[in-house]
Amino acid sequence: MASWNKEKLILFLVIIIVLVLTMNLYFLNTSKILEIREIEASIIISNITGFDVNETILNFGKVMRGGSSTKQISIENNFNFPIEVSIYGEGEIKKFIFGFKEKIEVGKKKNIKIVASVPDDAEFGEYKGKIIVKIKKDI
């Protein structure tokens, strides 16, 4: 009976240690996030190409099947440490945006190109969503 209690105690301690390590990893990862920006975005899949200069949203304009449209945003690192910028799409537009990460050194400014790429089999229509720009400490 005493050995059964020892095994139970050891199992309990192992579970506690695993929980504590998991929580530490979670908080270390999320504490690196400095800022999350959400930019409204849209694209129109059409049989003609067209541009939209609307400055309230990131509009990729009218794009034909098999084509692409590029927009540019500028990010400056005003922190006293390097940052990592992750960019990806959310919502309907997500399937056209290729997510990526970019590192920016202290005091540097980068113009980052965001490409919306339309596959050949995309359905005509307007697709909306958000471009997510997540800035975190690059450790």
Rounded to 5 degrees, φ, ψ at 14 are -65, -45
- Return phi, psi of residue 70, to 5°: -120, 135
Q: What is the number of alpha carbons within 13 Å of residue 50 lying toward its C-beta?
A: 11
Q: What's the mean per-residue pLDDT of the chain?
A: 88
For the cut 90, the answer to whether the pLDDT of residue 132 exceeds it is: yes
- pLDDT band per the 50, 70, 90 thresholds, residue 8: confident
User: What number is the average pLDDT over the span 102-109?
Assistant: 94
What is the per-residue pLDDT for 32? Answer: 82
Q: Cα dist. 68→13, 20, 74, 99, 126 in Å? A: 55, 46, 20, 15, 15
If pLDDT is split at 50, 70 and 90, which confidence band does 9 have? Answer: confident
**Single pTM value for the model:** 0.73
* 5 or 106, higher pLDDT: 106
- Residue 54 confidence (pLDDT): 62
Count of beta carbons in the 10 Å neighbourhood of residue 28: 10
Closest among 105, 120, 110 to 73, alpha carbons compared: 110
What's the confidence (pLDDT) of residue 25? 73
Tens digit of each residue's pLDDT (9 = 90 or more) over 49-100: 766 666 678 999 999 999 999 999 999 999 999 999 999 999 999 999 988 9
Residue 1 has pLDDT above 60, yes or no: no
